Amino acid sequence: MARTRRVGGKSKKVTVSTDAYGHTAGWAATDLEAALAVPPDSEAAAFFDVDNTMMQGASIYWFARGLASRKYLTTGDLARFAWQQARFRLLARENAGDMSKAKATALAFVEGWRVDDMERLSEEIFDELMAERIWAGTRALAQLHLDAGQRVWLVSAAPVELGRVIAERLGLTGAVGTVAEVQDGAYTGRLVGDLMHGPAKADAILQLATVEGLDLSRCTAYSDSSNDIPMLSIVGNAVAVNPDSALRAEARERGWEVRDFRTGRKAAKIAVPTTAATAVLFGAVAAGVAMRRRRSRR
């Protein structure tokens, strides 16, 4: 129906929709949305580690669980994952030799896979095993940044394709992760650059800040692991989420905020592999799949 409204200081006859009671439909909602719209904040962003920060346990472990259910791996391979996790926790430090070996074999297990198959498996396995393990508290923190008009990236040692799927499912901006070399739509099994681990995360964020025009002093980073202190140190706001003992001590010394979404301190000893073992898990996955391939050829 036609109704006279004041538009731009003048009376103007416009056509508006009304409901059964004669109330205008759409005007109030549109005005409210415009009033509540938050302009993009192009210089501020948030960076979230994934393993034990955004998700309970290591994403590569749950990915391996999904592969095992599809007969790519066996329960024996998964048992070796747990052994590697226990070994890393006992050593309480990174072993340079293991890291070097892990880098050499990190993504060997995807050699010959099509990129679209990797993306499909990542989507399926996220929905099956990972979605329910997202920390609600950390997800809410990410949403606060999005609501403030900021972009939010995941930064993980996991394959970047898996990181992108997690980011997409959570409605985040994107992900930074370990990159596998691709030729003709298939993986060669070699890495492009380093594992996205430790100082490499800080380097990636610095590069991203340059490309995206970010002011790192206005950015925030979140992690559970002391391995990510380099990443936490380059932003203006660092938050320790479900921190390990070393990061908790560092946060206390530097005055960083601490958020713990675990039900108790015993949760720090979660049985599934954590970020510290992610690099070795790549090697374990590679070894397991290579063994399956050798057996299938006999």
Instruction: Summarize pLDDT for 219-240 with one digit per residue, the tens.
Output: 999 999 999 999 999 999 999 9
Across the range 128-150, mean pLDDT stands at 96
Highest-confidence range of 44-53, 106-115, 156-165, by mean pLDDT?
Answer: 44-53
Does position 256 have pLDDT exceeding 90, yes or no?
A: yes
Across the range 35-58, mean pLDDT stands at 89
What span, in angstroms and rounded, lies between the C-alpha atoms of 20 and 164?
46
The residues annotated with a catalytic role in the active site are 49, 51
Mind listing the pLDDT tens digit for each residue in 75-99? 666 666 556 555 544 443 444 445 5
Q: Hey, what amino acid is at 226?
A: S
What pLDDT does 7 receive? Answer: 40
What span, in angstroms and rounded, lies between the C-alpha atoms of 14 and 4?
6
**Band of pLDDT at residue 189, cut at 50, 70 and 90:** confident
What pLDDT does 100 receive? Answer: 52
Q: Work out whether strand 186-192 and strand 220-223 pair parallel, antiparallel, or are unpaired.
A: unpaired
Does position 269 have pLDDT exceeding 60, yes or no?
A: no
SS3 at position 48 = strand
**What's the Cα-to-Cα distance from 222 to each of 20, 35, 264, rounded to whole Å?**
51, 31, 20
pTM of the model: 0.74
Does position 152 have pLDDT exceeding 70, yes or no?
A: yes
Task: State both tokens at 193.
Answer: 């650059």
Q: Work out whether strand 186-192 and strand 174-183 pair parallel, antiparallel, or are unpaired.
A: antiparallel
CA angle 12, 17, 19 (to 5 degrees): 135
What span, in angstroms and rounded, lies between the C-alpha atoms of 281 and 275?
10
Phi–psi pair at 134, nearest 5 degrees: -70, 130
Task: State both tokens at 189.
Answer: 């099994």
What span, in angstroms and rounded, lies between the C-alpha atoms of 114 and 94?
32
Q: What is the mean pLDDT of the chain?
A: 77
Does position 176 have pLDDT exceeding 70, yes or no?
A: yes
